[in-house]
Structure 1
Amino acid sequence: MRGIDPETGEYLSPSRSDNRREALEVLALGEKLVSLSEAQLARLPVPDSLLPHIRECKRITSHIAHKRQLAFLAKQMRREDDEVLDALRDALDEDGEAARREVAAMHRVEKWRDRLLEDGDAALAQLLDEYPGADRQSLRQLTRNALEERKRNKPPRAFRELFRALRELIVEGRHGDEDAGETPLYDIPPDDSDD
């Protein structure tokens, strides 16, 4: 029995229906986690205590055994804090904050790549001012190769390599900087081509 608070008239604990709804939501979250690849799981904030259960559930192919293991995974997940489950939901949610930040970071990389291809050395100088650890020679060579590919209508190999190099510099290299908190990852630099 849940009981009612005599002063407020509110129930003292969640109803069985609320508990069941929450358990089904956790089960659905577990199904999503099991459907992900190892690389996708590595990008999520999955606690180490849940990883063996997820891998075991992936390994089992028999329908009933898989369903039973999935229920066990959900039981283990319900033991985690609500913050952990909310972080997992947010990371899986395409409209979540983590996804928005990742998309914004990729847009920033694309913007820098386009600026390098359009403005050349002027854009490279600005990039080096913002990221002093960048390899000037490598970026200049990748930019030249991408422009040459575009001119000759060749497959965009250097174009993609330039994007990867910029992503490593801007997105992945940003985490180690001391001033990472000062300039948000998702701020796009102003376009100076209007001058």
Structure 2
Amino acid sequence: MTKQPEDWLDDVPGDDIEDEDDEIIWVSKSEIKRDAEELKQLGAEMVELGKNALDKLPLDPDLRGAIELAQRIKKEGRRRQLQLIGKMLRQRDVEPIRQALDKLKNRHNQQVALFHKLEQIRDRLVDNGDDAVAEVLNLWPDADRQQLRSLIRNAKKEKEGNKPPKSARLIFQYLRELAENEG
């Protein structure tokens, strides 16, 4: 066996390229796993959405098909399908999907907040009567005062008689119509 000179590594082709400009960013295995799990969770959120909500997301046909299949699968097969969706998401730019999903969630949260506000107004109408009617008329000037008073009167009778709150529901529906017509 012949002994090679110590400078034999200096003659390796391509060794003269300087790597100072090309910094390699090392990512830990744990970080890769966290990112994969995050994308898998994003996929699970998309699987829970309905067809109309999925239509609003920028999904390619392959990913859309995988999501629809996962919606039909139960138990262990679903887990494997979610892993496949996570893998598919790793190969794509997920930022537009995340933004669209956040927009959907925000719209849902705004709707829930509006419903809570309308429920509070309805409860004040039933409890306070005319004082609360003035508040509603300030919020929605085109509201029908006579219809509101009639619904409030019926709701109070139902509440006192321990009957189902049919009129209270009608008040809520009327308030929701007013809010939707405003916006």
Q: TM-score, normalised by structure 1?
A: 0.60
Q: Distance in 2 between matches of 1:25 and 1:51?
A: 18
Give 1:17's match in structure 2, choosing from 13, 30, 36. 30
Cross-structure match for 1:120:
129
1:82/1:158 CA distance change after superposition, 3 Å: same
Q: Decide which of 83, 90, 101 is 1:71's aligned counterpart.
A: 83
Unpaired segments of 5 or more residues in structure 1?
Answer: 178-195
After TM superposition, the structure 1 = structure 2 runs for residues 46-125 of structure 1, keeping only pairs within 5 Å, are: 47=57, 49=59, 51-61=64-74, 63-64=76-77, 66-78=78-90, 79-82=92-95, 84-85=97-98, 88=101, 101-102=110-111, 104-125=113-134
Residue 173 of structure 2 corresponds to residue 169 of structure 1 = no
Q: For residue 13 of structure 2, what is the aligned residue in structure 1?
A: none
Structure richer in helix, relative to its length: 2
Q: Higher Cα Rg: structure 1 or 2?
A: 2
The alpha carbon displacement at 1:144 in A equals 1.9
Q: In the superposition, relative to structure 1, how do residues 90 and 17 fare at CA in structure 2: closer, same or farther (>3 Å)?
A: farther
8 Å CA contact 1:45–1:88 kept in 2: the answer is no
How far apart are the structure 1 equivalents of 2:26 and 2:181?
Answer: 47
Partner of residue 142 from structure 1, selected from 151, 156, 159: 151
Letter in 1 for 2:57: P
**Distance change >3 Å, CA 173–CA 125, structure 1 → 2:** same
- Aligned CA distance change for structure 1 residues 163 and 123 (closer, same or farther; 3 Å): same
Percent identity between matched residues is 37
Change (3 A) 1:153 1:43: farther
What is the match of residue 8 of structure 2?
none
List alignment gaps of at least 5 residues for structure 2. 1-18
Deviation at 1:45, TM superposition (A): 9.0
What CA distance in whole angstroms lies between the structure 1 residues aligned with 2:75 and 2:96?
Answer: 32
Count of equivalent residues: 161
User: Is the Cα contact below 8 Å between 1:45 and 1:87 reproduced in 2?
Assistant: no
Q: Residue type matched to 2:151 in 1?
A: L
Aligned equivalent of 1:158, options 167, 175, 181: 167
The answer (yes or no) to whether the contact 1:142–1:159 under 8 Å persists in 2 is yes
Amino acid in structure 2 at the alignment position of 1:74: G
**Whole-angstrom distance in 2 between the partners of 1:144 and 1:44:** 44
Measured in 2, the distance between the counterparts of 1:138 and 1:52 equals 49
C-alpha change, 1:12 and 1:32, in structure 2 (3 Å) is same
Distance 2:142 2:66 in 1: 41
CA contact (8 A) 1:113 1:162 kept: yes
Per-residue deviation, 1:22: 0.9
